[in-house]
């Protein structure tokens, strides 16, 4: 509270202070000594002409009449401001709906228990950044998850602001996707884990895995141990919570099978032209030795579906090889 005072020439001010009481019969207590104001008030004035007082963390019960008083070096030279100063505390609060769902219409209201001037202008803030609304209501129509944050309101031109309150926007799953581990080529016999990721509030409650149109598992992850070529196909996950569900895009899993064996080399009629075939039986493991001149090879294949295989057989431009 800004304040100034004057007194007759020739006097020296010995003490200047604020109080809540009129000092008629006895000396009123200094406001700085009141436990209710301890650490919340500061006298910024002096013992000459400035009597400014600062309040911090103003409370509604601070609303009262305050008196400035000073004592001089002259006997009986005690003075007090006539009528005192009325402090009116405006208690601003932001009212937020208890349950906010994305897509609905939401109104935040800046409320007060005290009367404001007719032409009061309000300001609104989200996460400390000022918004465009200048009335006691902030309309979010429709509300989205980007509107979530901490809001407070204030009265323009006055040192009045509300505490921050959170706005929690609930919504169904968004950005659903499937990732695979390990990445790269997937070979028969190994372990593969698919993970479903999504953004939702509240968090996703149920995950369902599909291979094609068939349900194959439940849960955030789906692990296939000792995977085989029959596991090849398109996989999707469906995420759901109380506000909706969403299906991911398809992830195509192509499982390769690997043939390893010993190479038998022969030479054709033309010099330096070498031919070879891999000796392998699917139900037997060809032991690899340190025998000189013996070479081994591994070949990875993807099982083509019958339609692709028959199309290849009819094409004259396709070169074939055989693996024994």
- What does the DSSP assignment read for 219-282? SSEEEESS--GGG-EEEEEEEEETTEEEEPPPEEE-EEEEEEEEEEEEE-SSTT-EEEEEE--T
Answer for the pair 123, 134: CB distance below 8 angstroms, yes or no. Answer: yes
Answer for the pair 90, 117: CB distance below 8 angstroms, yes or no. Answer: no
- 155 has a pLDDT exceeding 80: yes
Q: How far is CA 91 from the centre of its chain?
A: 30
User: In this structure, what are the phi and psi dihedrals at residue 228, rounded to the nearest 5 degrees?
Assistant: -130, 175
Residue with tokens 């409320």: 111
Tokens of 272: 């330096």
**Residue 247: closest CA among 170, 175, 171:** 175
Residue with tokens 């043939």: 259
Distance between CA 72 and CA 67 in Å, rounded? 17
- 317 has a pLDDT exceeding 80: no
Q: Which residue has the higher pLDDT, 63 or 146?
A: 146
pLDDT score, position 260: 66
Model confidence pLDDT, tens digit, residues 5-30: 888 888 899 999 899 888 776 788 88
What confidence category does residue 293 fall into, taking pLDDT thresholds of 50, 70 and 90?
low
Lowest mean pLDDT among 85-94, 145-154, 265-274: 265-274
pLDDT score, position 204: 96
- 85 has a pLDDT exceeding 70: yes
- 265 has a pLDDT exceeding 80: no
Q: What percent of the chain has pLDDT over 90?
A: 40
pLDDT score, position 295: 60
- pTM comes to 0.57
What confidence category does residue 301 fall into, taking pLDDT thresholds of 50, 70 and 90?
low
pLDDT score, position 291: 54
Sorted by sequence, the CB contacts under 8 Å of residue 146 that are 6+ apart come out as none
- 277 has a pLDDT exceeding 70: no
- 229 has a pLDDT exceeding 90: no
Average pLDDT value for residue range 92-102:
91
Strands, E assignment, 4-105: 13-19, 41-43, 53-55, 64-72, 78-80, 85-87, 92-95, 100-101
pLDDT score, position 130: 94
Lowest mean pLDDT among 68-72, 101-105, 157-161: 157-161
What confidence category does residue 48 fall into, taking pLDDT thresholds of 50, 70 and 90?
confident
In this structure, the chain runs to a length of 324
pLDDT score, position 224: 95
Partners of residue 244 on adjacent β-strands: 241
pLDDT score, position 321: 40
- 279 has a pLDDT exceeding 50: no
Lowest mean pLDDT among 87-96, 143-152, 250-259: 87-96
pLDDT score, position 8: 82
| Average pLDDT over all residues of the chain | 81
Average pLDDT value for residue range 174-183:
94
Lowest mean pLDDT among 108-112, 118-122, 299-303: 299-303
């Amino acid at each position: 509270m800004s304040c100034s005072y004057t007194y007759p020439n020739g006097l020296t001010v010995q003490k200047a202070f604020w109080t809540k009481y009129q000092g008629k019969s006895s000396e009123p207590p200094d406001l700085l000594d009141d436990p209710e104001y301890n650490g919340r008030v500061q006298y910024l004035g002096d013992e000459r002409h400035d009597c400014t007082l600062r309040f911090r963390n103003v409370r509604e019960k601070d609303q009262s009449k305050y008196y400035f008083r000073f004592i001089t070096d002259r006997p009986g030279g005690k003075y007090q401001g006539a009528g005192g100063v009325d402090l009116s505390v405006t208690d601003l609060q932001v009212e937020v709906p208890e349950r906010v769902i994305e897509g609905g219409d939401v109104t935040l209201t800046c409320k007060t228990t005290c009367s404001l001037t007719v032409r009061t202008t309000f300001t609104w803030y989200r996460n400390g950044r000022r918004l465009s609304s200048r009335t006691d209501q902030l309309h979010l129509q429709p509300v989205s998850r980007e509107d979530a944050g901490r809001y407070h309101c204030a009265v323009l031109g006055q040192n009045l602001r509300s505490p921050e309150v959170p706005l929690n926007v609930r919504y169904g799953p968004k950005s659903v996707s499937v990732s695979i581990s390990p990445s790269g080529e997937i070979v028969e016999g190994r372990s593969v884990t698919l993970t479903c990721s999504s953004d939702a509030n509240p968090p996703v409650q149920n995950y369902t895995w599909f291979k094609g149109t068939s349900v194959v598992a439940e849960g955030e992850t789906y692990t296939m141990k000792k995977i085989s070529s029959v596991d090849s196909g398109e996989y999707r996950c469906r995420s759901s919570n109380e506000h909706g569900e969403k299906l991911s895009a398809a992830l195509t899993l192509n499982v390769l099978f690997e043939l390893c064996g010993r190479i038998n080399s022969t030479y054709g009629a033309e010099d330096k032209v070498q031919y070879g075939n891999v000796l392998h039986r699917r139900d037997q493991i060809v032991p690899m030795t340190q025998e000189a001149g013996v070479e081994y090879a591994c070949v990875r294949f993807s099982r083509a579906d019958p339609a692709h295989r028959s199309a290849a057989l009819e094409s004259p431009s396709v070169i074939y090889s055989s693996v024994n």
